[in-house]
Structure 1
Amino acid sequence: MVPHCSRRSLLSRRSALAGLGSGLVGIGAVRASGDDGSASHDDSALDWPMARYDAAGTGYNPDAAGPKDGARVAWRREPDEFSGPSAAPILLGDTLYATGGSLLALDAATGETRFSHAGAYRSSPARAPAEAYTTDTLAVATRRTVVGLNADGGFGLFDREFGVERWRGPRRNSALSVLYSVPPVAVGGTVYAAMPNSRYVVALNASSGRERWRASPGDELRRLAVRDGRVFAVNWPYRATAYDAATGELLWRTDLDEQMVLAPTATSEGVVVPDRTGVTLLDAADGSVRWRADHGGNATEGAAAVAEGTVYVQSSTGGRLHALALDTGEELWSAPDFTEGTPVVADGVVYGRNYDELVALDAADGSVRWRYESRLPLSTPAVGDGAVYFVARDRIVALEEDR
């Protein structure tokens, strides 16, 4: 695993003063390029670079592994001035990032704070390579817009902090205040986001925040899914839409049977769209319905994870986690005692959030491997090299195998 902290930008006092004099926002060094002009970037196979792992929203990293047969607390931290809506953390190399009244970067092995930056951040961050910088950009939603932050935290000068915030996206003027904004996703050097308190989807340049295109699917947008050059969006009521990821051109629009539609997951078989009472698989090319499975629940939040040809989705009424065949929608198994939420999958284990409890299930048959009770509402977890991480209101927790 490549240490993420080794990619920190180092600026001299003289270059920092020169940057301040030029009035540039988001100070940082120019990213080194290879002979072909492409930017160099070190990725770890064990990264969990955005909420639900990837832009498609699968919640599955085939290289990651968490505790399987039992779990114990590796570390628990309650940083000062950290509290929020339990947005999912992300993992880049050996650094864990969490948002809650601040952007917080922790050593993934020990939980020690590497840096923090105060700000009204209301979503999970998404990592995007930024051609203009030597370090990554973290895109995160606020109440009114999406901002780009330096993943290495900037630098201090004269008791002040510089270079953390690189850009702000289009601003939405609204008197509404939301506790949790929809997390952005990133593909290459582009950030795709459902703008807070709006009916717009935007594509932004990860280096500058410049708007590349904008579309208007409708109100109450959920997290986007991006795969194979298409952006998939859902919103209340009934609506699912697809756009060309490069141009924003509308490719198709489909109305579903349920008003309450939840965040999509893009797969090789199509687009998985959960809703209040079931799950629908849409054809990614034209939006036609391939299958529909009812679970009889009453879900108002959450999304499906997809791994190795299986869809995992939680319902609320009756409280179950369901495993469905991706190609047919046939139920393979279901497990009781779950509220609505977003599961993730790693190394044959499904990690499901049951409000204040994290439950590890065998992905093959749904049998319970272990339970961890926090007594506080949990975020969707992230999985790394033998550990699973989550936010529980004012604390960040890492669990490891109980040996």
Structure 2
Amino acid sequence: MVSDLSRRSALFGLGTGLCGLGAVRAIRPDDVTDSQSRTNSALDWPMARYDAAGTGYNPDAAGPKDGARVKWEREPDGFSGGTESPILLGDTLYATGQRLLALDAETGETRFGHEGSYWSSPARAAAEAYDTDTLAVSTRRTVAGLNADGGVRLFDREFGVERWRGPRPKSALSFLTSVPPVAVGGTVYAVIPGTGQVVALDASSGRELWRRSPGDGLQRLAVRNGRVFAVHWPYRATAYDADTGERLWRTDLEEQMVLPPTATGEGVLVPDRTGLTLLDADDGSVRWRADHDGNATEGAAAVADGAAYVQSNASEDSLHALDLETGEERWSAAVGREGTPVVADGVVYARDHNDLVALDADDGTVRWRYDSRLPLSTPAVGDGVLYAVAHGRIVALEEKR
């Protein structure tokens, strides 16, 4: 007669074996390519600021235009510290904090949660070796690759959730901020927390493809057309070849404090404390600079339909719309908090203290305001819905009827 312990051991071995067989796959020529994803949808918002370039604009997405109401609101058990932008993959919304949470985008119900301390938005990457995508996310000390489907749970234990951990700094210290990774196909581009180092990692294994050391104070990277653009304190912007890590150019800017870049067809936008600079993507030369007389210490520019949108933390009008080709100001509006706007279907969404405000992209007129009680993260945009996180609370806003 088989004992209960032996039966449990056998089931345990069988379950974990099946988990491995179901998660890992052999690569075949007809499989999904690096540039695709098994959860790919036109309405996905697969990383912070939508894409690897950091534009904050999905031309297929739309949010509430003429008014907003709460579609659903959740404060999941054990979810705290969340302030980073969520991401949307198909009908699943992912949010990070003291846990990784996967929610039903339609209802807000929790699909699965994974314990851990995650300090950035995740980025979806196509993992060739698996049947499911990898979510790359920064922790206090490294970058982790997680199973986008959450793995399996056997006997109150989780298996197959964490696939890999990237390189760590030599110091044992933990760091208070982490930079969100970005992903292009099957490659993750990330900043190693607490270092001045940029790495390219394989999304399936976490294997290091290349590493460079631009300098301290690195911000979220921007990747476009085979180039990785990095900025860091003081003054500096640098471009690398996305495949090899070869440095292509390095440019010094006017301000010491430089903020996350946005890569566009016109060049690379680099905000700083008092203005916005457009650099040529090929050689790093300055194409134009626009001063807004602000005092910005965070936030990045969004780009849509030939315009750049940036918040300046100025005493008066602090959301600026600039012509992307010339740098001339199209309009400015009174939005009283620095941050990172996003754009969808002719509407600019920006944080204004505890409000989320929607402005007309053509002239800056305010369409609606929503008082969130606490500052919301930069939102993700889906099919008529905005999703945002605020310190343990997750909210979905839809058109007010």
TM-score over 0.5 (shorter chain): yes
Inter-CA distance 365–31: structure 2 relative to 1 (3 Å threshold): farther
Change (3 A) 1:85 1:38: closer
- 1:158 is displaced (CA, Å) by 2.1
Partner residue, 1:370: 368
Number of the residue aligned with 1:30: 25
Equivalent in the alignment of 1:205:
202
1:104 matches 2:112 = no
Equivalent residue runs for 1:74-153 within 5 Å: 74-153=71-150
Superposition deviation, residue 149 in structure 1: 0.1
Query: Is 1:381 paired with 2:379?
Result: yes
Residues 298-334 of structure 1: CA distance to partner in whole angstroms, max 9, x if unpaired? Answer: 0000000000100000011225100000000000000
Change (3 A) 1:156 1:371: same
Which amino acid counterpart does residue 179 of structure 2 have in structure 1?
A: V
Corresponding position of 2:16: 17
Verify: 1:269 aligned to 2:259, yes or no: no
Is 1:221 aligned to residue 218 of structure 2? yes
Q: Is the 8 A contact 1:66 1:387 kept in 2?
A: yes
Cα deviation per residue 1:7-55 (whole Å; 9 max; x = unaligned)? xxxxx976533378xxx8x982316645378477341000000000000
> Are the equivalent residues in 2 in contact too, given 1:232–1:242 (CA < 8 A)?
yes
State how far apart, in whole Å, the 2-side matches of 1:37 and 1:85 are: 32
Question: In the alignment, which residue of structure 1 is the partner of 2:396?
Answer: 398
Q: Match of 1:340, as an amino acid?
A: E
Counting only pairs closer than 5 Å after superposition, residues 254-265 of structure 1 correspond to structure 2 as 254-265=251-262
Q: What is the Cα deviation at residue 270 of structure 1?
A: 0.2
Kindly provide the amino acid, as one letter, of the partner of residue 306 in structure 1.
Answer: V
* Contact 1:222–1:262 under 8 Å retained in 2: yes
Contact 2:385 2:398 in 1 (8 A): yes
SS at match of 2:23: coil
Counterpart among 322, 325, 328 of residue 324 in structure 1: 322
State the partner residue of 2:181.
Answer: 184
Q: Could you tell me which amino acid in structure 2 is paired with residue 288 of structure 1?
A: S
CA contact (8 A) 2:218 2:233 kept: yes
Q: 1:31, 1:376 → 2: CA distance?
A: 47
For residues 73 and 36 of structure 1, the distance between their equivalents in structure 2, rounded to whole angstroms, comes to: 40
SS in 1 for 2:228: strand
- Preserved contact between residue 354 and residue 376 of structure 2 (Cα < 8 Å): yes
Equivalent runs, 1:224-373 vs 2, <5 Å: 224-319=221-316, 320-373=318-371
Deviation at 1:353, TM superposition (A): 1.1
Secondary structure in structure 2 of the residue aligned to 1:399: strand
Q: TM-score, normalised by structure 1?
A: 0.93
The answer as to whether partners of 2:82 and 2:98 remain within 8 angstroms in 1 is no
Aligned length: 388
What's the offset of the Cα at 1:172? Answer: 1.6
TM-score normalized by the length of structure 2:
0.93
Alpha-carbon distance in structure 2 between the residues aligned to 1:33 and 1:367? 52
Contact 2:314–2:336 (Cα < 8 Å) also in 1: no
Q: Could you tell me how far apart the structure 2 residues matched to 1:378 and 1:367 are?
A: 21
Q: Residues of 2 paired with 1:82 and 1:313: CA distance?
A: 31
| 1:156 is the counterpart of 2:153 | yes
Change in Cα spacing, 1:35 to 1:15, as seen in structure 2 (3 Å) is farther
Q: Percent identity?
A: 74
| RMSD across aligned positions (CA) | 1.8
Aligned residue identity for 1:28: A
1:85/1:181 Cα in 2 relative to 1: closer, same or farther (>3 Å)?
farther
Unaligned 5+ residue runs, structure 2?
1-10
Q: Deviations over 1:206-264 (max 9, x none)?
A: 00000000001100100000000000000000000000000000000000010000000
Q: Any idea what SS the aligned residue of 1:17 has?
A: helix
The alignment partner of 1:103 has SS state of strand
Counterpart for residue 193 of structure 1 = 190
Q: How far apart, in 2, do the equivalents of 1:19 and 1:184 lie?
A: 31
Q: Secondary structure at the match of 1:396?
A: strand
- AA at the equivalent of 1:382: A
For residues 137-157 of structure 1, what are the alpha-carbon distances to aligned partners after superposition, in whole Å with 9 as ceiling and x for unaligned?
000000110000000000011
- Kindly provide the amino acid, as one letter, of the partner of residue 108 in structure 1: A
**Divergent runs of 4+, >2 A:** 12-20, 31-42, 173-180
CA–CA distance in structure 1, aligned partners of residues 231 and 194 of structure 2 = 15
CA distance in 2, matches of 1:229, 1:79: 39
Structure 1: gaps spanning 5 or more residues: 1-11
Q: What code does the residue aligned with 1:388 have?
A: L
For 1:277 and 1:175, how far apart are their aligned partners in 2?
A: 35
Aligned residue type for 2:46: P
Structure 2: distance between partners of 1:37 and 1:373: 43
Larger radius of gyration: 2
Q: Distance in 2 between matches of 1:292 and 1:120?
A: 39
Q: Residue 3 of structure 2 aligns with which residue?
A: none
Q: Aligned partners of 2:90 and 2:330: how far apart in 1? A: 35
CA distance in 2, matches of 1:380, 1:140: 17
Amino acid at match of 2:208: E
Indicate if the aligned counterparts of 2:32 and 2:128 stay in contact, CA closer than 8 A: no
2:7 maps to what in 1?
none
CA distance in 2, matches of 1:197, 1:356: 30
Once the two structures are superposed, residues 237-295 of structure 1 have per-residue CA deviations (whole angstroms, 9 ceiling, x without a partner) of 00000000000000000000100000000000000000000000000000000000000
How many angstroms apart in 2 are the aligned matches of 1:159 and 1:103?
Answer: 17
Secondary structure at 1:18's aligned position in 2? helix
